Structure 1
Amino acid sequence: MITIVILGAGNVAHHLYKAFFSAENVTIKQWYNRDIKSMRPFNSEVLLTNDLSQLVEADIYIIAVSDDAIAQLSEQLPFEDRLVVHTSGSVSPYDIDKKNRRGIFYPLQTFSKGAEINFIEVPLCLETLMRKDYQQLKDLGQSISNHTKRVNSDQRAALHLAAVFVNNFTNQLFRVAHEITESQGAEFDLLKPLILETANKIQNLSPFRAQTGPAKRNDKKTIKRHLKMLDNEHHKDIYKLMTASIKKTHASTSATTKKNR
């Protein structure tokens, strides 16, 4: 049985709590946050505290707070030589105070309040500074996920950056599409099967091979027509940037296709 203490009460912390609470070989000994208001519904399930001096002993302490708060919180921990990990995709393990053993427990997923997550399918990127700590962290990860992966800090940073492109930027494109459909009274919901198919397609194809559309075909008439339709200059700039990026990526393919005609 692995014992843990969760530090923080944001979206990631709440999702981790629910996942670990259901895990068979994990015991959540305590949950800490400066403000325990959002944690009160779980008062009957776990020991809550807003006092760092009252932290109990556990195998692993999971810091699930904002990136900027990790270093300060780790400095305030009132113990030494225990395994302390954070959940950030971009913060170094060296940001954790060196008085404790340090590691990373990074769930590569987007977490929103009220949105349920099936942790079994969430990749967990793991890193420890001491070899002896890795197996225990891996055992913890495997208690809630079928996808644990040992990564170094450079790999984790690259994954986090890539995640911004595939998640945050993509979601913003969904928002732009929503504004475009709303401007003409069209239903954004009609695009949802296309959104799902786009995501499903890259399960079997590389993003390069899966690309379609007027930019890849260099369909100048359609591109010109689309730009004329866009009244919002910001949307127009995004369209031009994405079109140029796709053209650059597939320039050699287009040239080969024309040559073979």
Structure 2
Amino acid sequence: MISVVILGGGNVASHLFKALNKTEQTSVVQWYNRSINSINEFKNEVAIIDDLSQLKEADLYILAVSDDAIKSLSSQLPFKNRLVVHTSGAASLYDIDKKHKRGVFYPLQTFSKTAKIDFANVPICIEALESTDYHVLKNLAKTIGSPTKKVNTDQRKVLHLAAVFVNNFTNQLYRIAHEITESEGAEFDLLKPLILETAKKVQDLSPYMAQTGPAKRSDKKTLKKHLKLLQDTQHKDIYNLLTSSIQRTHGRKKL
């Protein structure tokens, strides 16, 4: 059995606790957060603390905190030579204080506190300095049903950057689409099957092959009509930027 201490009280920490707490192969022995109120709802399921001096010994300490907090928190841990990992896609492995055995346990997924997550659909990107530590992290991922991928720092950082494009930026485009439909009382829900089909298509086709629409076709009349419909200057800029990007990718003349 792998004993784990979780540090942090955000979305990733909450979902990791729920997943790890369900398995018989892991034991979450403690959960730390500097604001204990954030994790107070779990006090009947796990020992919660807000004092680092009370940390118990464990096989693994998971820092599920903001990137800016990793260096400071890891240096404050009152022990050395134990396996400490962070869950960030962008932070360096070496942000963890060198007094520890260091690693990265990066779940490549979007986490919202109220949304359910099936970790079978959450690939875990693993980075470690020692092979024994890598296997501990791989076995931990296995206990919650996650697929794993051994990555280096550069690969993890570009995966995180790409994730911002496919998730954060895409979600902002959904928000803009929601504003556009609301402006004329149209139903955003009518777009949801299209959203699902778009995501489904890239499971089998490359994004290049999956591209459709007026920008790829260089349908100038439609492009001009769309720009005329847009009232928000920022929305026009985004439309022009993405249209230009698609046309550059597919060798079409710009509008």
Category of TM-score, reference length = shorter chain: over 0.9
Q: Deviations over 1:86-106 (max 9, x none)?
A: 000000010000000000000
Post-superposition shift, 1:36? 1.1
Q: Which residue of 1 aligns with 2:13?
A: 13
Q: How does 1:88-107 map to 2 (within 5 A)?
A: 88-107=88-107
Q: Which residue of 2 aligns with 1:148?
A: 148
Amino acid at match of 2:179: E
Amino acid at match of 2:221: K
Q: Distance in 2 between matches of 1:231 and 1:40?
A: 46
Post-superposition shift, 1:24? 2.0
Q: Which residue of 2 aligns with 1:166?
A: 166
Post-superposition shift, 1:31? 0.3
Q: Deviations over 1:171-223 (max 9, x none)?
A: 00000100100001100010000000000010100000000000000111100
Post-superposition shift, 1:146? 3.3
Aligned CA RMSD, in angstroms, stands at 0.9
Give the structure-2-normalised TM-score.
0.98
Q: Distance in 2 between matches of 1:113 and 1:3?
A: 24
Q: Which residue of 1 aligns with 2:48?
A: 48
Q: Distance in 1 between matches of 2:230 and 2:45?
A: 53
Post-superposition shift, 1:147? 1.1
Q: Which residue of 2 aligns with 1:189?
A: 189
Gaps of at least 5 residues in structure 2 are none
Q: Which residue of 2 aligns with 1:111?
A: 111
Q: Distance in 2 between matches of 1:91 and 1:127?
A: 12
Q: Which residue of 2 aligns with 1:228?
A: 228
Deviating 4+ runs (over 2 angstroms): none
Q: Which residue of 2 aligns with 1:81?
A: 81
Amino acid at match of 2:190: L
Q: Distance in 2 between matches of 1:226 and 1:5?
A: 53
Q: Distance in 2 between matches of 1:204 and 1:68?
A: 38
Q: Which moved more, 1:206-215 or 1:138-147?
A: 138-147
Post-superposition shift, 1:35? 1.1
Q: Secondary structure at the match of 1:133?
A: helix
Amino acid at match of 1:225: K
Percent identity over paired residues: 66
Contact 1:6–1:31 (8 Å) recurs in 2 = yes
Q: Distance in 2 between matches of 1:218 and 1:92?
A: 43
Contact 1:127–1:152 (8 Å) recurs in 2 = yes
Amino acid at match of 2:160: H
Q: Distance in 2 between matches of 1:43 and 1:176?
A: 40
Q: Secondary structure at the match of 1:19?
A: helix
Q: Secondary structure at the match of 2:62?
A: strand
Q: Which residue of 1 aligns with 2:131?
A: 131
Give the structure-1-normalised TM-score.
0.95
